[in-house]
Structure 1
Amino acid sequence: MLAGALAGISEHTVIYPVDAIKTRMQVLPSLSPSALLAQTSGANSSSTLTASSSLLSHLRHASTTQSLRTLWRGVASVIMGAGPAHAMHFGTYEFVKEVAGGDREGLRGVGGTALAGAMATTASDAFMNPFDVIKQRMQLQSSTYRSVIACAKHVHATEGLRAFYISYPTTLLMNIPLQAVQFSVYEILKSFLNPTGEYSPSTHIAAGGVAGGVAAALTTPLDVAKTLLQTRGTSNDARIRNARGMAEALKIIVARDGWKGLRRGMSARVVTFAPSTAISWASYEFFKSLIKSQDYQSSAMA
């Protein structure tokens, strides 16, 4: 759990600016035309954003119209939530994997690993979801929040406690398959690249990066729906503001942006997840190996 907490903080803080751009890419197409015009007014033609703007376009826009420091806005929420959430995540994962036979060979091992990943995200997301809502509200380009506490108070006062968990079912529907795919691909690649099972940083980075990228690409549509639900209180569109769940969010996205709307932010999401998952697994395996080594040395001295 300690290794997981340290890995979670490392993962989220390093990749946070790209995650902020991903949020903006997913929210922007859902704004009303007047809000979009207001948001991009004053920017020159080379930095004006459209619904199909690329990751680099958003990065250039942030650097020319705002300070790049705004891409770090809300990072405190992630730091506060990521440690405990990832402690639950990896603690649950290791426990369930052992009980379910995830260390065995063949389909039984893959099934046990997938189940462990699904159970781990169910536990950690219950804790992390409110922090994720605050993070995404602060990541918006038009956000005026200057602290996590101020954002939390405003969301609670204007939308109630339910706003912090309106996206939880969608988050689970996204993260359960995401984590099942990610953990399964990671364990398979790790075993293939490093059959001895010894600590190997390069193996953990490579396997983690591929696993994160694959899982992120496959679950992008659900992530777009989750973002819509978590930021609905900032929209000028009455239908978005009153969206109640994943199914309705998906319908709104397709109605307003077409099927391509379900892929909004996929490039940024993959760019975020591949290195962040690599960092997470590399950090986790490093801290786990370090803690085990210290425990072994303590036992030997005793």
Structure 2
Amino acid sequence: MTGDFIPKALPFFANFAAGAIAGVSEILTFYPLDVVKTRMQLSTEKSQGFVGTFKNIVKEEGAGRLYRGLVPPLLLEAPKRAVKFAANDFWGEIYLDLAGEKKMNQQLSILTGCSAGATFVIVYQNLCPRLQDKNSTYAGPIDVVKQIIKKEGILGMYNGMESTFWRHLWWNGGYFGCIFQVRAMLPEAKTQQATLFNNFVSGAVGGCVGTMLNTPSVVKSRIQSAPRIHEVSPKYNWTYPSLVLIAREEGIGALYKGFIPKVLRLAPGGGVLLLVVEFTLGIFRQALGPPYI
């Protein structure tokens, strides 16, 4: 084969399966950090910091609390991550055709990532912040659904969708855009181990940059956890007005509550995601053979 040979894109099911496996792997590894992050974001008091919040949860509520709310994201993680990577592959092909390009470039990778993030917003909604809240009285995910529908109606399940949209759009744009750029900067991988290392580093940098871009989405947790009272406008409703309100009442620093546990999860988590995805796709390529290799 010549140096210009470009392997055929893998079928949808391969990208979907790889994303699902990677998603479950990532969340099982890093979920406690997400609990600490959400708890810090929901607090309107002076921040105790990452270590202080972590210690208080374990001391006052037990280590098991760090896994409270795990079931909803675990059930959703497979389709969520699967949709993300499958959508990224889908939009990548669409934009390459529209641009008349054969290979991805920086601009298209960012646009593709943003589109992938917007595609799966509806998959991941607001069960987790309600279960992770210290004052939560819900018995579990099913109880959350029942209580939301009973008190707020079916549309209550979609509180915070607008803020979720912006969070995923910015994170995925930064994530996939950085993956492309960092891969181009790293030395060419000569071995399987080097390939895995490059994938982890690219994904970790992408996860870090994506987190820095969408960290002010602290408002998402506030919107989803705020009680809904009939005919009373909630304090936190739309993303950008709520960001202004939080900054005015609590200071700019409040917008970055939970940043440390968030970046500690999503930076290496982004690396794990990409590493597992690419490793799984490699297995599919070997199994399917030419022209996918």
Cα pair distance change 1:218/1:255, threshold 3 Å: same
Q: Which letter does structure 2 place at the counterpart of 1:206?
A: V
- Conservation of the 8 A alpha-carbon contact between 2:37 and 2:258: yes
- Pairing partner for 2:26 from 11, 14, 20: 11
1:266: which partner in 2?
259
The 5 A counterparts of 1:175-186 are 175-186=168-179
- Determine if the alignment matches structure 1 residue 291 to structure 2 residue 284: yes
- Pairing partner for 1:142 from 120, 126, 135: 135
- Conservation of the 8 A alpha-carbon contact between 1:18 and 1:268: yes
Report how far residue 139 of structure 1 moved. 0.8
Report how far residue 233 of structure 1 moved. 2.1
Report how far residue 196 of structure 1 moved. 5.6
Measure, in 2, the Cα distance between the counterparts of 1:13 and 1:159. Answer: 31
- Determine if the alignment matches structure 1 residue 231 to structure 2 residue 221: no
1:34: which partner in 2?
none
1:218: which partner in 2?
213
Q: Which letter does structure 2 place at the counterpart of 1:281?
A: L
- Conservation of the 8 A alpha-carbon contact between 2:163 and 2:220: yes
- Pairing partner for 2:114 from 113, 118, 130: 118
**Secondary structure of 2:227's aligned partner:** helix
Residues 127-166 of structure 1: per-residue CA shift (max 9 Å, x gap): 222xxx1011111112222321111111221122222222
Structure 1 segments (4+ residues) deviating >4 Å: 102-105, 196-199
TM-score when normalising by structure 1: 0.82
- Determine if the alignment matches structure 1 residue 99 to structure 2 residue 94: yes
Q: Which letter does structure 1 place at the counterpart of 2:184?
A: S
Report how far residue 248 of structure 1 moved. 3.1
Q: Which letter does structure 1 place at the counterpart of 2:115?
A: M
The 5 A counterparts of 1:184-223 are 184-195=177-188, 200-221=195-216, 223=217
1:74: which partner in 2?
69
* Aligned length in residues: 271
- Conservation of the 8 A alpha-carbon contact between 1:13 and 1:78: no
Q: Which letter does structure 1 place at the counterpart of 2:66?
A: L
Measure, in 2, the Cα distance between the counterparts of 1:158 and 1:194. Answer: 56
Residues 40-79 of structure 1: per-residue CA shift (max 9 Å, x gap): xxxxxxxxxx522110001110121111111101111001
Measure, in 2, the Cα distance between the counterparts of 1:175 and 1:194. Answer: 30
1:32: which partner in 2?
none
- Conservation of the 8 A alpha-carbon contact between 2:152 and 2:228: no
Measure, in 2, the Cα distance between the counterparts of 1:184 and 1:198. Answer: 24
Higher helix share: 1
Identity of aligned residues (%): 22
**Secondary structure of 2:188's aligned partner:** coil
Measure, in 1, the Cα distance between the counterparts of 2:109 and 2:254. Answer: 32
Name structure 1 gaps, 5 residues minimum: 30-49
Q: Which letter does structure 2 place at the counterpart of 1:268?
A: P
Measure, in 2, the Cα distance between the counterparts of 1:116 and 1:294. Answer: 27
Q: Which letter does structure 2 place at the counterpart of 1:231?
A: S
Q: Which letter does structure 2 place at the counterpart of 1:135?
A: C
Report how far residue 26 of structure 1 moved. 0.5
Residues 221-270 of structure 1: per-residue CA shift (max 9 Å, x gap): 1x2111111111299xx87x443211332133123211111111111211
TM-score when normalising by structure 2: 0.85
Cα pair distance change 1:242/1:162, threshold 3 Å: farther
- Determine if the alignment matches structure 1 residue 157 to structure 2 residue 144: no
